[in-house]
Structure 1
Amino acid sequence: MSDLFQETVFFQNLYATPADWQRDLFYSVVRAGHLRAGHEHRIQRETYPGHELILCLAGRGWAQVAGKRHEIGPDELLWVNCHHPHTYGAIAKEPWELYWIRVEGRPLDRVANLLEIRSQPVIKNFNTRAAVQEFERAFHHMSGTRPSDAALVNAAVTAIIALAFEARLSDADEIRPELPLPVQKSLEKMRLYFHTAIRVSDLAALSGMSESHFSRLFKSCIGTSPIDWLRRERINQAKHRLIESDDPIKEVARQVGYSDQFFFSKDFKKMTKLTPTQFRVQEKQP
């Protein structure tokens, strides 16, 4: 191997410290760069903040995640949830060249779960040409101090995530993200019978699980509790009824499963920032 390729060369090595408001509102990139790896390039961590998105431009790399080794080649994206133990590096005979960003801010765990990142961290058939533009947009704006810079970094990360969904879900050989059957059954019941009294114990019994086990499974897959999901579904249904009918608020509340108009109005305002009456007036304005 030529000495030219034995040492890691950083073409860009970028740092940023986003403000608290940026982390609250947006995806924030705190580390990023462009490197051509040496044959000994290797990163190993037990845990680290954020998620790393690594785009292989040329050469080959590898990653060890959840006890399994994966290889990465050109036009493939490695997604690493850094909160879990992970190791990755270059394949010595053909060290990779890559772009990378480390993303913090809005929770990414649920997105990673939907993409089956824990078991399949390498996303194949990635649109590298489109992704390169987004990585470079993140590089350009991540150290900026204007609110627009933070928004543009967020847009770049969101676009890269969209490309990940596009690549994974268009590949017939990849496993589609599927919800466990107990969660599917409970969602189906709540969608069909949102207007009735539904308890977590009912959903757990439907799935043949204990209430605590079912609740943990549901939240790990959906990102919220069953009751919170049901409340949101009821409020979404209420929005349609408020727009499409002139039924009194109390009647709309009853139709979507609330026996108490006060609690309905409280949940509605919590989720929409408007009272049911304000929402109806606003949406019916010409």
Structure 2
Amino acid sequence: MKPYVAHTFKNQKMLILPEEIINNISRYPFIKNLFITDIGFFPHAKYHYIERKEGCRQNILIYCTNGEGFVIIDGKKTRICKNTLLIIPKDLPHIYGSNDENPWDIYWMHFKGETDSHFVRNTGTITLIDVPLSTLPVLIHLFDEIFDALSRGSVISNIIYACSSLSYFLATALFMPYNKYGQKDRKTAYVENSIEFMKNNIDKRLTLNDLTSYNNLSKTQLTDIFKEKTGYSPIDFFIRLKIQKACFDLDFTDMSVSEIAEKIGYSDQFYFSRLFKKIMGSSPSDYRRIKKG
């Protein structure tokens, strides 16, 4: 049996938002989408142990910067190592705690909101992220900014600042395209290499076969990677790159619409115009007349 230890670790800090403040947050559309309810830092948290049989009302973020710990979900125990970020979805029963021999240092937050699902990848299980060492000072700085803002009292400007910083913290931790060694992950590399290939062949009608041959991947593999990283299939993304190039030429050259269409691989000006309007919401000629800046 684990020894019970109250949350009193040397140099710890912790802050819980009053229920009144949490209830009032719903009045502010720009923070009710994503906000913090609890935040803390537990250094060298020996015997730290939490069990929630019914889960937690908020999502739990734990960032282990030193030592080790564990999390148990549905009877499965997962080791949490140094430089790992863990997210436990709300309402998911769980147990987590520190390693007795090598206690963890953890920065932690509870968060929720109407758009929290964008930062919780799978509501049925945990999210684990290997955080690059280069990102450590950025995340610690953001954590300190959030904690300091909330520590200054329940002033709405402080809460807005803290919640905005939370979005930046989560985006930095979850969506930076680097592995734990500070290198771009393989999927990101495939996408970036493909995009560079597309830009160098913007005047051509590349096919999915061309792109898969360039990357030495199957059609399914490349399509799945592109949809995960960009939200589009490879060809749909290529089309949007072409339209982006067309917008540039419409804005900064006096080329005709037919010349621009030809330049990006469309011999049929009218097909190009229909495609342009579908994506940009206006025809090339109307787009050119819009005052910008």
Quickly name the TM-score band, shorter chain normalised.
Answer: 0.5 to 0.7
Q: Which residue of structure 2 aligns with residue 114 of structure 1?
A: none
TM-score, normalization by structure 2: 0.62
Q: What are the superposed Cα offsets for residues 137-165 of structure 1, whole Å, 9 maximum, x if unpaired?
A: 46889996xxx788645521244357659
1:196 alignment counterpart: 204
% identity of equivalent residues? 17
Q: Is the 8 A contact 1:28 1:150 kept in 2?
A: no
Compute the displacement of 1:174 (Å): 1.7
* Structure 1 residue 103 displacement after superposition: 5.5
Q: How many residues align?
A: 261
The one-letter code of the counterpart of 1:224 is Y
Structure 2: segments with no counterpart, 5+ residues: 122-126
Q: Is the 8 A contact 1:134 1:160 kept in 2?
A: no
Q: 1:13 aligns with which of 7, 12, 16?
A: 16
- Name 2:87's counterpart in structure 1: 80
Match 2:47 to one of 39, 57, 61: 39
- Go from structure 1 to structure 2 and tell me whether the alpha carbon gap of 1:61 and 1:197 turns closer, same or farther (over 3 Å shift): same
2:222 equivalent among 208, 214, 226? 214
Partner of 2:143: 131
Residue in 2 that maps onto 1:69: 79
Task: State whether structure 2 residue 228 is matched by structure 1 residue 229.
Answer: no
Q: Distance in 2 between matches of 1:226 and 1:41?
A: 46
Contact persistence 1:11–1:34 (CA under 8 A): yes
Contiguous gaps of at least 5 residues in structure 1? 111-116
Distance 2:186 2:46 in 1: 41
Aligned in 2, Cα 1:217/1:159: closer, same or farther, shift over 3 Å? closer
Separation (CA, whole Å) in 2 of partners of 1:61 and 1:20:
40
Please tell me the root mean square deviation across aligned C-alpha atoms, in Å: 4.9
User: Is 1:267 matched with 2:279?
Assistant: yes
Larger Rg: 2
- Within 5 A, what are the aligned runs for 1:69-148? 69-72=79-82, 78-80=85-87, 82=89, 88-92=96-100, 94=103, 96=105, 98-102=107-111, 105=115, 107-108=118-119, 118=128, 120-121=130-131, 125-127=136-138, 128-137=140-149
What is the alpha-carbon distance in structure 2 between the residues aligned to residue 68 and residue 101 of structure 1? 20
Q: Would you say the 8 A contact 1:43–1:87 is kept in 2?
A: yes
Return closer, same or farther for 1:225/1:27 CA change in 2, 3 Å cut-off: farther
For 1:229 and 1:85, the matched residues in 2 are separated by: 40
Q: Tell me the distance in 2 between the aligned counterparts of 1:78 and 1:222.
A: 23
SS class of match (2:34): strand
> Which amino acid in 2 is paired with 1:190?
M
Contact 2:71 2:96 in 1 (8 A): yes
The two structures have a TM-score, normalised by structure 1, of 0.63
